[in-house]
Structure 1
């Protein structure tokens, strides 16, 4: 009897990662996940996909951190512009990069705005030329890239929409099974998941639950033992930890993605919650295990 793999709802990360690798192998592509709001993580902020937030195809990665201005251009092109296009189009599209390559981008929505972008590629853009300052090694890689195939793109678009919805489903299921009660507390948690990156407060939660602000305040404290603003801050910090570990997003953009009004406020609140600044957290996350453990402990006190 064949022992088929099963996705564990309590800890789906491993099997989801294996599923992505299976799609890559079968299709001959690289997949990148842009977690727009930092929601693909465990309760402690550890990302499900720590190695998927940056394009890892050799052509995309090589030279990015060595040649002047390349990292900035890659970030602007494949994150800012692609996300803006996903927000505008709300459907799969082909994104043409300044390096002469093309990727299929599939946006996944929640409450009318993209929360996840799946990138599949890379393909050589028909008629495009690579940058003039491309090294001979990278030019040889460019020459071996396949051209985009219409049928492949259509099949991938459907496949990645289903895959992306499955990823979002298991991320939600994992968090809901991690001790989240049902009833009003479940409504509060769901509100945080859907709106933490927006400019919301107790008034908006009360309206969503059809309660007065004072009654809603008591309900939140009854179920969670703390006021709503503390829950909101913790949710944003949790998402920020995910993005700091799994992406190279600048701190200013991490702050905006998870709902902080500016980088200064983000630094202050992150340090208050975790006992370490966002920059220090990113710098020492992998290099200093002791600091990593201390930050995790402080974030759960």
Structure 2
């Protein structure tokens, strides 16, 4: 329990946060029917994409910075606590199967460690030194990007991690749901998506969490597009790790190369399962070795490799 002075300070801080505000409009939620509740909550949720779009320039700057560091062999590392931490861990875990990336390329760190992904770990978010220790364990370098996520924008775990990362020379990005945030002040790029009071006051897993998910989706998806992980709006660097993804690989080759399933399967086999390589071979008639060499010379960008071999 904080002492009286600290408690007064915390209450003052919280009173100034939009994410902690209450509105008299929703004082009768418990009296509404289910359909009315759905409509009321949906009306609030519709505000989130617009708030994210308002931060297009900051998000684009972050994407460009992340992409440049990826090209230098750097990593994207998310840090956060609670819902914000889980959003980062989720985005990191989905990159390998979606884009064929090494698991070390995008990493999610959450206050309290693995346990906190499924259960609350008391006081973990207040440990300002914990993120620094985890980033040291990862051997953070100036080629990396650290993205701190915090709805309030004041989480000590995130503040400490961003401060350390910036001192190392890494690119630092803050994602917050309040303007003029503490984490924004610690970052090179502040993405402050102000979503206003939550449907249930202070429940930042709602609009704030949705905004965080939309932003991290953009950071990884758009940087992967710039790295050539897609072609004509389709994933071409996916890893076929299960039956569904193997079928998707064949379907992708059929769709983009305009061939039947049997020809797509043969091409994928010759390309050792690589959708991108199979597409390049089908588009140019090149053999696997020559196609692989062209892809490497084109930094993995299929469109450029096709031009080079045509």
TM-score (norm 2): 0.31
TM-score (norm 1): 0.31
Query: Radius of gyration: which is bigger?
Result: 2
